[in-house]
Amino acid sequence: MKLQIFLLISILSGNLFAQDIVEWRGPNRSGIYPEQNLLKSWPENGPSLLLELNDIGNGYSSPVVYKNTIYVTGLKDTLDVISAYTTDGAKKWETPYGRAWARTYPETRCTPTIENDRIYLISGMGEVVCVETVSGKILWNVDADKIYSGEPHRWGVAESPAVSDDAVFYVTGGDETSVVAFDKTNGKLLWKSKSLGGSRAYASSLIIEKAGMQLLLAQTANDLIGINIENGEILWTYNLIQYHINQQGKGGNTNTPLFYNNEIFVTSGYDHAAVLLSLADDGRSVSLKWANPDFDSHMGGAVKIGNHIFGSNWKNNSNGNWVCVDWNTGKTMYETHWHNKGPIISADGMLYCYEEKSGHLALVKPNPEKFEIISSFKIEKGTGPHWAHPAIFDGKLFVRHGEYLAVYELKK
């Protein structure tokens, strides 16, 4: 049943790739997890706590579950580390896979992408790495930033790698190239795109299908880029920097796009207006459908439920509200204060909203008329901002806070 639901979501969204994959924000990176029969309300202290892990390394990445094993990345000393745990919490192995970001906010950001018993990762300093799921052995690694003269934005690398049937992709930025593709089996370069100049952004890319092609939707500090994944040809670019009206956060494109019915939704924080773009029938151009200045999600992502988009916005680095916008018109349906901005995901027709400042986690009905909280509780353990996006696998909710990971039962 889960596979059938996954396939249906893939077909409806225009994406249909190999199914043996887990990655950042679930199928198609949409933030919508294909779990069913989940709780529609929680006890006062939250769902039943099944497992706690207390030394996963510091980070803002999400855990993923693959073949009954929990995989999570974190910062230990100056290295990005990936660890594998049984569902009972026993550590199976731990592997350092690259250098952590060396400046402010060095905590690990990369969520593992896992397919066919291989894990694909990007370190904080731009190393693209492949690790074996069973043993933790590094199969290949490429110091992509060094080799291809990558240009980081202010806070470094925050990309979780997108993979196709043949390749793994990485946004370098810089003057030599903007995006590179490596052979998944051995790490050899398949292609590098032309350079559009300027630095990379923070957003993870998305693969879509259109006009018989697979396109990578990648972001630099300046542009959203549509790339033919077969050869690296840049089919089109859309200038995002035009919506960055202030110097603070300029070029800080942060969130993976949403794609539905030949339309692309892009949002980032810092008063950058969200935009909905229409993709041409031949896949070789885009045009603006609407822009909305209310929906500037800082780094919490967005989800589309029915004809509406839900998420949070940016008022300043410490504050933001929760927002709903009509997908078709761009009209703001509501903007509501609830503690603070933060990550959002969805499953079984409900929203999971995790505010970043004090760790309140809410189960919310996706009502376009109001921010309708059904239940909430607070994550008390862990340190630092609550920036890690929750994840849902096998009927369980995974919530990370710094070096701490909690797993809750969501099944009825």
Residue 14 lies in a domain: no
Q: Give 180 or 5, the one with higher predicted confidence.
A: 180
Residue 225 sits in which domain range?
20-409
Question: First and final CA of the chain: distance in angstroms?
Answer: 17
- List, for residues 116-158, the tens digit of each pLDDT value: 999 999 999 999 999 999 999 999 999 999 999 999 999 999 9
- List, for residues 314-369, the tens digit of each pLDDT value: 999 999 999 999 999 999 999 999 999 999 999 999 999 999 999 999 999 999 99
Q: pLDDT-based confidence at 113, cuts 50/70/90? A: very high
**Pick from 375, 362, 379, 262: nearest CA to 312:** 362
Q: Report pLDDT for 120.
A: 98
Residue 66 lies in a domain: yes
Q: What gap in Å lies between CA 322 and CA 292, rounded to an integer? A: 14
Residue 3 lies in a domain: no
Residue 18 has pLDDT above 90, yes or no: no
Residue 5 lies in a domain: no
Quick one: 189 exposed, middle or buried, by C-beta within 10 A (0-12, 13-18, 19+)?
middle
Angle, alpha carbons 406-256-348 (nearest 5°): 50
Q: Report pLDDT for 221.
A: 96
User: Which CATH number covers residue 119?
Assistant: 2.130.10.10
DSSP at 212? T
Q: Report pLDDT for 15.
A: 39
Q: Report pLDDT for 246.
A: 86
How many domains does the chain contain in total? Answer: 1
Residue 4 lies in a domain: no
Residue 144 lies in a domain: yes
**b/e map of 265-287 (b: 16 or more CB within 10 Å)?**
bbbbbbbbbbbbbebeeebbebe
Q: What gap in Å lies between CA 366 and CA 294, rounded to an integer? A: 18
Residue 124 CA to chain centroid, in angstroms? 15
Tokens of 176: 């030599």
Angle, alpha carbons 329-332-351 (nearest 5°): 105
Residue 340 lies in a domain: yes
- List, for residues 242-264, the tens digit of each pLDDT value: 999 888 999 999 999 999 999 99
Residue 7 lies in a domain: no
Residue 65 has pLDDT above 90, yes or no: yes
Three-state DSSP class for 346?
strand
Q: What is the mean pLDDT of the chain?
A: 94
